[in-house]
Amino acid sequence: MTNSSVKGDFILVGFSDQPHLEKILFVAVLISYLFTLVENTVIILIFDICFTTSIVSQLLWNLKGPDKTITFLGCVIQLYISLALGSTECVLLAVMASDRYAAVCKPPHYTAVMNPQLCQALAGVAWLSGVGNTLIQGTVPSMIKLACVDIHDNEVQLFVASLVLLLLPLVLILLSYGHIAKVVIRIKSVQAWCKGLGTCGSHLIVVSLFCGTITAVYIQSNSSYVHAHGKFISLFYTVVTPTLNPLIYTLRNNDVKGALRLFNRDLGT
C-alpha cells in the first residue's frame, strides 16, 4: 500500500506569505536578472551567469504566479550548483585579497610571488573547496531536521563547513587588508591612498556585499530575525552582487574604459 497524498514535488513557500510584494519583486528581480545576463554575456563572465541562473530562474517562476513547486531533480540541481559556485566565490575572494596584498605590499616581488603556477593552484583549491562544501552540505539543514535519527554529526559537519568556507576566507581578507592599510598609512601620501583605493576598492565593495550578507544569513541561521528577513538578505548575494560585479570590476579597468571611449567616439562619428 502507498500513500497517494505524497507527490514528487516540493512546495517553495518563498515570498508567498507576503503576496502583495510578489508582483513588485518579480519585476525588480526580472530586470536585475536581465541586466546580469546582458552584462555577463558581454564580458563573458560564465561564473556569475551559472550562479545567478541556478537560483534566479526558479525565483522568477515562483514570483510570477501561484505555482510554488519545484521538482526533486530541479531542487537537487539548484542546490548543488548554487552551493558549489557560492562556496567557490567565497574562497576566490580570499585569493583575490592575497593578490591585492602582494600588489600593494610586495610590488617588486609581485610577479615572482603571484606566478602562474601559484595562481592555478589557488584557483584549483577554490574549486575543490566549493565541490567539497557541496558534498558536505548536500543534505539541506532544514531537511536534516526532519530525520528520525541522531543528526548531531550532520549538524557538526555543516557548522564546520560554514565556519571554514565563510569565516576563514573573511579572516584572510581582513588580514590582507590590514597589512595593506598599514603600508599605505606608513607612506603618508595622497597619491598612495588613491592608488591603494584604485587597486582594492572594487574588491572591497564585492566582499562587503557578498560575504557580509552570506555571513548574516548563515552564521545566525536559527535566529528569528533571519527566519523573518533572511530571504530578503539573500537577494543581495544571489541577485544584486552578480548584477553589480561587471560594473564594479570592469568599469575600473583601464582597457575597458579605453574601449568604451573608442565606442563612444565611433558613435559620435
1 pLDDT more than 80: no
Contact 114, 97 (CB under 8 A): no
Q: What are the backbone dihedrals phi and psi of residue 13, each rounded to the nearest 5 degrees, phi first? A: -65, -50
Residue 40 C-alpha cell reads as 555577463
Contact 246, 45 (CB under 8 A): yes
Phi-psi region of 62 (alpha: psi -120 to 50; beta: other; left: phi over 0): alpha
The pLDDT tens digits of the residues spanning 37-79 come to 777 666 555 566 677 778 888 888 888 878 788 888 888 888 8
Contact 68, 13 (CB under 8 A): yes
Coil vs helix vs strand at 18: coil
Compute CA 233 distance to the chain's CA centroid, rounded to the nearest angstrom. 12
Q: What was the pLDDT predicted at 13?
A: 76
d(CA 51, CA 31): 17
Nearest to residue 56, comparing CAs of 73, 88, 39, 31?
31
Give the up-direction half-sphere exposure of residue 160: CA atoms within 13 A in the CB hemisphere: 9
Q: What was the pLDDT predicted at 249?
A: 67
Partners of 11 in the β-ladder: 69
Q: What was the pLDDT predicted at 23?
A: 85
Coil vs helix vs strand at 203: helix
Picking from 14-28, 130-144, 189-203, 218-232, which range would have the lowest pLDDT averaged per residue?
218-232
267 pLDDT more than 60: no
Other Cβ atoms closer than 10 A to 247: 14
Nearest to residue 202, comparing CAs of 97, 90, 78?
97
The pLDDT tens digits of the residues spanning 206-253 come to 888 787 777 777 666 565 665 666 777 777 777 877 777 777 766 666
Nearest to residue 233, comparing CAs of 248, 251, 215?
215
Give the up-direction half-sphere exposure of residue 177: CA atoms within 13 A in the CB hemisphere: 20
Compute CA 20 distance to the chain's CA centroid, rounded to the nearest angstrom. 28
Residue 218 C-alpha cell reads as 548563515
Average pLDDT over residues 154-183: 80
Instruction: Provide the pLDDT confidence category of residue 19 given band limits of 50, 70 and 90.
Output: confident
Q: What was the pLDDT predicted at 211?
A: 77
144 pLDDT more than 80: no
Give the up-direction half-sphere exposure of residue 48: CA atoms within 13 A in the CB hemisphere: 27
Q: Which residue has the higher pLDDT, 208 or 16?
A: 208
